[in-house]
Structure 1
Amino acid sequence: MKMRYKLSRITFVIILIATLMVTGLNVISVSVVKAEKPTTEGCIGYWNSTHVGRGYSLLVGKGVDSNKPSLFSLFNQVIGGLVIPYPGKSLSSEVDDIELPFDINTLINVVLMIMMTVGFTFTFMMEGFPNFAHTSYAVIGAMVSFYLTRFANFNPYSTWPFATLVGGLIGLFLYLGVVNPIKRQGGAKEVTLTFTFIVIAMVLPQLAYIFNYWARYTGGSAARGYNLSSFDFSYRGIPGIAITSTATCILLVLWLRHFLTRDKTGLSLRAVAENEDLAATIGINTGRAHCVSWFISGALSALVGSIMTIYRGVGISGPEGLIINVMSGAILGGVYSVYGAIIGGLFVALAQDMLKKFFYIFFGLAIERWQGLLPMLFLATTLSLFPHGLLGSQGLSVEKIRSAYDDLMKRLKALFQ
């Protein structure tokens, strides 16, 4: 029986072979099919299963190297996508599956980017420096979800509040223990804080390596990455994470609207962001406003990490390269506008997905090797055309769009002359 799954936009054909495994382990082997070379075979890994004893062969559309960590990620994606029936139960029919007019992966990427960009903007508009460690909080949320699911038998979705709380506390700790002392010393505090958080961005992932060592050799769980996709559910062919993450993002946007326009704490936060000295003179507790913004920022990043464990998993060192995407979205929307962060995150996620598909048509699988350049391209383009963002100090207007278009044409003419 053949079943098709789309993993990383490459169609893999899973061939289910009814072979009784005496050891009780299901072996997932890989066959690499290339046009110019004979078929080669190798073993991805072993999957513990107490319900069925079958072997699985995986035909992939690109070469895999057993020495690369990405191979284990591929293994996790495969077992997360397989739908294995219990003995005597047939595979579910796909007749009732819902055909959506858009790509599920694009939807989830948009959701994650919006949440990350909003958290980054909260920090920037309050402190005035880019928090390069913002995406590193995600690995903290992933660790919390992985631990509670693997060792405490929690449902992955029920770990989201705990991951959010831990991420918020990490953000609060960084403000009270790092940011506030540096700000009190005066001087070039923005520059100092920027370099400080570059170092923190390198230190935080090391906690994941420590946890990985403990989970592997003490807890008995091989955590080369934090992937909980095998615990997910589906509704009529739609992954549960697509439904829940989208609903969470919508609720977040609605809450932000209420928080920043109706709530006293939200209004005081906006006042401090615009003019901290003036806000202090009218009796606003500026210290509490800073604490709230850092808690929200850390909580959102950790929540994204928790969501990613069910979506595609998180590597040991966290979501690598995501900070460039987040900065692009924040700058595009306007680093001093939370609503702009929502729009910027939406545009960046959609545009990157569209560009990948566009380049894939012309360059094929070669795009996989240099797709990391796309975030850099977006960041450079955004800084050139919209240095103050779409919803910056002057807001979005026809004049701004016309000015950006004229500037782009001048640059293109100068480039080709």
Structure 2
Amino acid sequence: MRVHFIAIGGSAMHNLALALHHKGDAVTGSDDTIFEPSKSRLNKYGLLPESFGWFPEKITSEIDAVILGMHAKEDNPELLKAQKLGLDIFSYPEYLYEQAKNKTRVVIGGSHGKTTITSMILHVMHYWDKEVDYMVGAQLEGFDTMVRLTDDADFMVLEGDEYLSSPIDRRPKFHLYRPNIALLSGIAWDHINVFPTYENYVEQFQIFVDSMTNGGAMIYNTEDEEVVNVVENATAHIKKYPYKTPEYTVENGETLIETPDGPMPLEIFGKHNLNNLAGAKWICQHMGIVEEDFYEAIATFKGASKRLEKIAENNKTVIYKDFAHSPSKVEATTQAVKEQFPDRTLVACLELHTYSSLNPEFLTEYKGALDSADVAVVFYSPHAVEIKGLEEVTKKQIEEAFRRRDLIIYTNPLDFRTFLFGQELEDKAILLMSSGNYGGLDFEDLKGLV
């Protein structure tokens, strides 16, 4: 197959390009700019475009498939040329379905936890040398790429993102996979630039559940009321398997989960991660892994990249970073760190960075999200608000939204850095939550603090 990528440099797109290259397809691509690590990884396999920009002359009738990334625009000259030639044009999820339509498709959906659950499943499969195809939204230890495609694997595990498929396909990605086995972890309003109302957002998950194949298996979190409503109101003819957080204890900064063979220590921690683990166990059992083997494998799981990732630690201090940015994720992550280190002062720092989090109408969703922190800090950039074309956000609005009178708010990156590096770290836990970098903070520098 000859496959061309329009906007090859994206995190998901370049991983799919690498997967197809490893499979033996002839891959080309274009982009107007490509950053690290995509740039080096594409270059390693000879897939980096010779120059940046859009070149319609690259698009010929010899191309079997064009894959269109979200970064491209509807008037992209290469897209227009492909349309003119009548070539087969796919969004990223459409092409994944094409590769997986003859396999058993396992799709992990939910507003939160899907990357971690998918990572847990793949860790267990890798531990027991079970070959599966996959697509996951984070780089995993022991895996070269975030996408794997083969002709031989019976299963394909897909992280089911609810965001839009492409500039010319406004359907959520997870509507396109038609799962045989699926999981729904939780529903909490997000992506308000695309789903302007809570009801509209929830509807996407109802469509997802109803898109399952007849007789499919739906594993769902019974601790999320909206998930229960969606699954129980499904019109699809499916089997339903509920799960909930298992019993666990925390002793001296270590989490132990109750198993049929007694308490077992884990590398991960936090109620939300134990809940994720319960869902992953059900999925793995449906994929042929018995409970005892699941526990043996999951005991060595250290977490997905950027999910409660430990930056530095000594006997008195620990520093974590986490991708959490939506209200439910922020609340769960903050609670998890406080529960793991109850005798330490928790300094929780949140960067408001996404379109949703910087929207004044959405800010109220953060009520109580940082309540578990002893010291709560919010950083945001007024320049980022301006770039996104949003209404100005004030410090007073943020303080009222979080409902904390002692909330510390920074808008200047240097002021935030001074605060952070000026901390007396003995008996403290530092938690940095963001999908950005606090206006240029190098997280590696924090290793020098402990």
TM-score for the superposition, normalised by structure 2: 0.25
Structure number with higher relative contact order (C-alpha < 8 Å, ≥ 6 residues apart): 1
Q: Which has the higher helix share?
A: 1
- Which structure has the greater CA radius of gyration? 1
**Which structure dedicates a bigger proportion of its chain to strand?**
2
